[in-house]
Chains A and B, each alone.
Chain A
Amino acid sequence: MTFKHKKGIQKEPGVIKGVIVLVFFALVTAFIFNTLSPHRIALFGQWDPQKGVISANPDTSGAGHFTQIHSSKQVADMIRGKNCLIIDVRARDLFEQGHIPTALSFPINEFDENLPGMTARINQHDPVLLYCSSVYCTDSHTFADYLKSMGYKDIKIFSGGFAQWQEEGHKIETHEK
C-alpha cells in the first residue's frame, strides 16, 4: 500500500494540531507574562528614527515627554545664539574624544558624583539641551527625567546625538571644557 510510505505533514494532522496548541499556549503565556512583568514593553514601540529616539517603550523611556530636536542645524543655531546650555551625557572618555562645541560633560554614569557641580553651574530656569551617542541611545531621556524631577523646567533633547552631529559634518571639539 502506498499510504504507509506517505509521511508528509499533510498526512499528519496531529502534528499541525500540536503546533497550533504549542504556539497558542506560547502566545497566551507571552502576553500574560508581558502584562505582569516589571520589564514589560508596549505592544508597539517607537522605531522611526525620523520621529526621534527609538525605543520599545516610548511611554516609560521619556521619549514622548520632552521636546526633541531632530535637526543638527537647529542645534548649531542654538550654539551660535548662546541661548542654551548643551550637556553631553555620554561617558567622559567619549566626550574627550570629541563633542559638540560648548557642550559640558555630565556623564549619566557619574550623575550622583557630579550633582553638586551641575546644580552650581546650571540654574533650574536655564534652557538645557541634552544629547547622547545617537538615535539608538536613551541616556539623554533618562538624564532629562532626572533633571525634571529636580525641578528643571526647560529641557530639550537632540535626538540624533553626537553621531548625527558628526555625520552631518559639523565642527567637533576634542578637548574637555
Chain B
Amino acid sequence: MKPMRNNYIDFLAFIIKLILGISFIYASFHKIEDPQAFARILYGYDIFPDASINILAITVPFVELVCGFSLISGWFPRSALLTINVLLSLFIVLIGFNLIRGHQFDCGCFSFDSQNQTASNIFLLIRDAFMLAGGIFLYKRTKAS
C-alpha cells in the first residue's frame, strides 16, 4: 500500500501535468488562428533572423499543441516534457534577454493584446520559471517508456 504522502505527490503531479498540457494547448490556439500576428510578435522580439520569422510562426504553435496533447494523453510523455522544458527554457532566455537590454515587446504567449510593460514581462518570466519548475518535477517523476 502506498503511503499517504505519495498519494498527495501523485495528485500534485497530475494537476501540474494538466496545467502544463492545457496551457500549451491553449497558448497554441491564437497563434495557429492568426500566424501573421504571431509573426509580427516574433519580429518584435528583435532577436530572430528575418528568414526564420515566418517558419517559426508556422511551426512553434504546432510544437506547443502536439506536446500539450502528448503530455495529457500519455503519448511519449517524457519526450513531450523534455520538449516543453526546452521551450520554456528558451522562452525564459528570450524574455530575460529583452528585459535586460530594456527592449519593450509583446510576448504573444496567450493573446496578442498584452500591454508592452516591463512589469508584465517580469510576471511572464516568473510564470515561465514556475512552469519550468513544474516541468522538471514531472520529468523526474515520469517513468521512461
**Chain B, interface SS category:** helix
User: Is B124 part of the contact surface with A, judged by Cβ < 8 Å?
Assistant: no
The answer to whether A26 and B65 have CB atoms under 8 Å apart is: yes
B119 within 8 A of A: no
Contact of A48 among B34, B36, B50, B66 (CB under 8 A): B50
In the assembled complex, A12 has its CB within 8 A of some CB on chain B:
yes
When the two chains form their complex, are residues A22 and B67 in contact, meaning their CB atoms are under 8 A apart?
A: yes
- Chain A contributes a number of interface residues (CB within 8 A of B) equal to 34
Whether B79 contacts A18 by the Cβ 8 Å rule is: yes
A30 within 8 A of B: yes
Interface string of B81-102 (1 = CB under 8 A from A): 0110000000000000000000
Q: Is the CB of B144 within 8 A of A14?
A: yes
A31 interface hit (Cβ, 8 Å) = yes
Residues on A with beta carbons closer than 8 Å to the beta carbon of B36:
39, 41, 55-57
Question: How many Cβ-Cβ contacts under 8 Å join chain A to chain B?
Answer: 97
Question: Max chain B CB contacts within 10 Å: which of A15, A17, A40?
Answer: A15
Contact yes or no, A15 B82, CB < 8 A? yes
CB of A123 closer than 8 Å to a CB of B: no
List chain B positions with a Cβ less than 8 A from chain A. 32-36, 39-40, 43, 50-51, 53-55, 57-59, 61-63, 65-67, 70, 76, 78-80, 82-83, 144-145
- Which A residues form the contact surface with B (CB < 8 A)? 9, 12, 14-19, 21-23, 25-27, 29-31, 33-34, 37, 39-45, 47-48, 54-57, 136
28 sampled A-B residue pairs with Cβ under 8 A = A14-B79, A15-B78, A17-B79, A19-B76, A21-B79, A22-B63, A22-B70, A22-B79, A22-B80, A22-B83, A23-B83, A26-B66, A27-B62, A30-B58, A30-B62, A33-B32, A34-B35, A34-B58, A39-B34, A41-B35, A41-B39, A43-B55, A44-B50, A44-B51, A54-B40, A55-B36, A56-B35, A136-B40
7 tightest Cβ-Cβ pairs between the two chains A and B: A18-B79, A18-B76, A30-B62, A56-B39, A47-B50, A26-B66, A26-B62
